[in-house]
């Protein structure tokens, strides 16, 4: 026992000495790094990193240190924050060869999320996944999913009409059921479906663990070897729960697809098309694994950002009635108030397009994106950025940059029109990321969001709730941090005037009223 304790102390002493020596070496080179908070001995900037609303904190850092590029480090981990769009484009796109890797996050593997190809290291395995994704989700190929998108959006409209008070459930149904049918050809019937419940729980728990400060395992990787039963190993226990949920997320749709094939009722989808090809022509294990990983990534992660963006849209409409009425007038003019908008109407509805751009600008679901990793030392604007540094694109800072978007915190779709009233060329949605790591499903995400916006505005008025005296109840527009870099507007939903007036708990602050019945288009 005494020898064991001595060994532990010796290891800790050696580790401490190494950290101290590294600190001295970095302190010497500190003047070459981008500006940032001054590191403390041994721990660096460990206590300078924010635990919530990270993007806003890094904007304040930029002002304090008068720099759009910021540097901090903690216990051997180097981080650079990029607050300006031009810098992000230069690094992630013009220097993509060395800025396209991903940091190794120990918690990712512990939770079983290594199958999410967004976390894959930059290499041949990632290139295979990327190639398959581009073949299936490029602008032309993505159109094959349009009938599914229309069906799911129309189901959302019907659900809002029948039970508007269950908006949160309808929102999840839209995002996850769309992903399930596109990826696996499976129809999700209810919010209680295991596919939704398990995905919801796994993403919530996992996001908390991946957030900066969410787990010491990401700072001290050796802690991943501590067993879950060990006292105090809370995040290790939580990781095991997420891993179990993740395995179920992958198993359930796979089993259902195989059963559908055996019973002769499989329908075309991303995975079933491959499964049929495999049975006819064969396929390598690597290709099959890549197909499974991509399908899981879309189902398990990508759909969650749509949920957040949809919530932002409803909030912005409720607090901007003039914008809502202007969009509805344009929709009525194009459709004649006799049918629902279609994807073919997109070019004819420029104001709806501007609303889509402004929703994604003002409320990006992933304010800091997913970090890139530098694969070799680089000099940028005279600063040294060391190999292995994690680079975060502060998308929130870029989309709220007053130099680019005057009055940036105001919802103004008109900012996307030129002096002649024509949509300008600012059509890039930064929320989809940069360079070789840009979201491969951006075309599907874009068309889904646009169709949802146009369809909801065609059918419903979104307003603030009124109190017993008929006065509007202000909506709490605070941003709620939900863990892994993702935010959503924080407010209460309500869609029935009776419910609004008679609720016995916290007063809801948003209502959706049927504008007209277009759910069954007139002949």
Contact between 174 and 452 (Cβ < 8 Å) = yes
Residue of 320, 333, 335, 331 lying closest to 489 (CA atoms)? 320
In which order are the strands placed within the sheet that holds 390-393? 69-74, 77-82, 390-393, 372-373
Q: Regarding predicted confidence, which is higher, 263 or 131?
A: 131
* 3-class state of residue 82 by DSSP: strand
Residue of 199, 208, 207 lying closest to 246 (CA atoms)? 199
Mean pLDDT score, 220-230: 79
CA angle, corner 217, sides to 301 and 241, nearest 5?
A: 50
Tell me the pLDDT band of 262, cut-offs 50, 70 and 90: confident
Binding site members: 439
Tell me the pLDDT band of 322, cut-offs 50, 70 and 90: very high
Mean pLDDT (the chain) is 84
The pLDDT value recorded for residue 23 is 58
Q: Quick check: 28 pLDDT over 60?
A: no
Q: Regarding predicted confidence, which is higher, 345 or 247?
A: 345
Give kind and range of the element (H or E) at residue 514: strand 511-514
Q: Regarding predicted confidence, which is higher, 334 or 499?
A: 334
Q: How far apart are CA 329 and CA 522, in angstroms?
A: 19
Number of H helices, E strands in the chain: 18, 10
Tell me the pLDDT band of 406, cut-offs 50, 70 and 90: very high
pLDDT per position as a tens digit, 147-169: 999 999 999 999 988 888 788 88
Q: Quick check: 11 pLDDT over 60?
A: no
Tally of CB atoms within 10 A around 503: 15
The pLDDT value recorded for residue 35 is 96
The CA-to-CA distance between both ends of the chain, in Å, stands at 85
pLDDT per position as a tens digit, 184-201: 999 988 888 887 788 878
Q: The whole model's pTM is what?
A: 0.86
- Pick the range with the lowest mean pLDDT from 168-172, 185-189, 336-340, 410-414: 168-172
The pLDDT value recorded for residue 316 is 92
Q: How far apart are CA 217 and CA 223, in angstroms?
A: 5
Q: Regarding predicted confidence, which is higher, 277 or 341?
A: 341
Non-local (6+) Cβ contacts of 463 within 8 A are: 318, 321, 510, 511, 512, 513
The pLDDT value recorded for residue 50 is 85
Mean pLDDT score, 226-248: 85
Domain boundaries, the chain: 106-365+406-510
Q: How far apart are CA 82 and CA 398, in angstroms?
A: 9
The pLDDT value recorded for residue 7 is 58
Q: How far apart are CA 109 and CA 79, in angstroms?
A: 21
Residue of 379, 325, 364 lying closest to 449 (CA atoms)? 364
Q: Regarding predicted confidence, which is higher, 164 or 173?
A: 173
Non-local (6+) Cβ contacts of 386 within 8 A are: 33, 78, 374, 377
The pLDDT value recorded for residue 507 is 37
Residue of 325, 310, 308 lying closest to 463 (CA atoms)? 325
Q: Is the dihedral of CA 274, 279, 282, 283 positive or negative?
A: positive
pLDDT per position as a tens digit, 97-135: 999 999 988 888 889 888 888 899 999 999 999 999 999
Tell me the pLDDT band of 512, cut-offs 50, 70 and 90: low
Mean pLDDT score, 414-433: 95
**Based on the number of CB atoms within 10 Å of its own CB, is 338 exposed (0-12), middle (13-18) or buried (19 or more)?**
exposed
Q: Which fold has domain 106-365+406-510?
A: Cytochrome p450 (1.10.630)
Q: Quick check: 243 pLDDT over 60?
A: yes
Q: How far is CA 30 from CA 26, 49, 261, 386, in A?
A: 6, 18, 60, 11
Tell me the pLDDT band of 429, cut-offs 50, 70 and 90: very high
Binding site members for heme: 439
> What's the distance, CA 249 to chain centroid?
18
Contact between 408 and 373 (Cβ < 8 Å) = no
Tell me the pLDDT band of 325, cut-offs 50, 70 and 90: very high
Q: Regarding predicted confidence, which is higher, 419 or 211?
A: 419
CA angle, corner 256, sides to 251 and 261, nearest 5?
A: 130
Contact between 84 and 63 (Cβ < 8 Å) = no
């Amino acid at each position: 026992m005494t020898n064991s304790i001595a060994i532990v102390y010796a290891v800790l002493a050696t580790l401490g000495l190494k950290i101290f020596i590294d600190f001295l070496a970095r302190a010497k080179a500190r003047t070459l790094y981008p500006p940032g908070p001054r590191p403390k001995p041994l721990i660096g900037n460990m206590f300078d990193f924010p635990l919530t609303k990270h993007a806003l904190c890094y904007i304040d850092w930029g002002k304090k240190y008068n720099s759009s590029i910021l540097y901090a480090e903690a216990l051997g981990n180097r981080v650079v924050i990029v607050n300006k769009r031009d810098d992000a484009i230069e690094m992630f796109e013009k220097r993509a060869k060395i800025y396209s890797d991903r940091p190794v996050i120990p918690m990712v593997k512990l939770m079983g999320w290594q199958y999410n190809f967004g976390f894959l290291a930059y290499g041949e395995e990632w290139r295979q996944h990327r190639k398959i994704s581009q073949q299936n989700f490029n602008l032309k190929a993505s159109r094959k999913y349009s009938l599914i998108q229309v069906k799911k959006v129309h189901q959302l409209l019907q659900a809002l009409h029948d039970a508007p008070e269950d908006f949160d459930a309808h929102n999840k149904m839209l995002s996850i059921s769309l992903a399930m049918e596109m990826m696996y050809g499976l129809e999700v019937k209810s919010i209680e479906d295991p596919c939704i419940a398990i995905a919801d729980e796994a993403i919530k728990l996992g996001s908390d663990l991946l957030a900066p400060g969410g787990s010491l395992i990401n700072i001290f990787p050796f802690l991943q070897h501590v067993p879950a039963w060990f006292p105090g190993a809370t995040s290790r226990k939580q990781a095991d729960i997420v891993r179990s949920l993740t395995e179920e997320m992958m198993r359930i749709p796979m089993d259902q697809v195989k059963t559908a094939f055996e019973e002769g009722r499989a329908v075309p989808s991303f995975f079933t098309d491959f499964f049929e090809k495999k049975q006819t022509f064969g396929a390598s294990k690597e290709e099959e694994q890549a197909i499974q990983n991509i399908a899981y990534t879309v189902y398990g992660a990508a759909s969650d950002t749509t949920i957040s963006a949809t919530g932002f849209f409803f909030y912005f409409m409720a607090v901007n009635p003039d914008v809502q009425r202007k969009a509805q007038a344009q929709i009525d003019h194009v459709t004649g108030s006799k049918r629902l908008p279609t994807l073919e109407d997109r070019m004819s509805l420029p104001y709806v397009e501007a609303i889509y751009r402004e929703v994604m600008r003002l409320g990006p679901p992933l304010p800091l994106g997913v970090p890139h990793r530098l694969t070799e030392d680089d000099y940028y604007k005279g600063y040294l950025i060391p190999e292995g540094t994690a680079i975060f694109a502060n998308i929130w800072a870029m989309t709220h940059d007053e130099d680019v978007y005057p009055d940036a915190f105001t919802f103004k779709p008109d900012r996307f029109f030129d002096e002649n009233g024509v949509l300008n060329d600012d059509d890039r949605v930064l929320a989809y990321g940069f360079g070789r790591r840009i979201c491969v499903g951006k075309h599907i995400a874009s068309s889904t969001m646009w169709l949802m916006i146009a369809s909801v505005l065609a059918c419903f008025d979104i307003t603030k709730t009124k109190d017993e005296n008929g006065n509007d109840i202000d909506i709490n527009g605070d941003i709620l941090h939900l863990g892994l870099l993702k935010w959503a507007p924080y407010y209460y939903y309500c869609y029935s005037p009776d419910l609004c007036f008679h609720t016995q708990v916290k007063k809801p602050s948003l209502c959706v009223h049927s504008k007209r019945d277009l759910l069954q288009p007139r002949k």
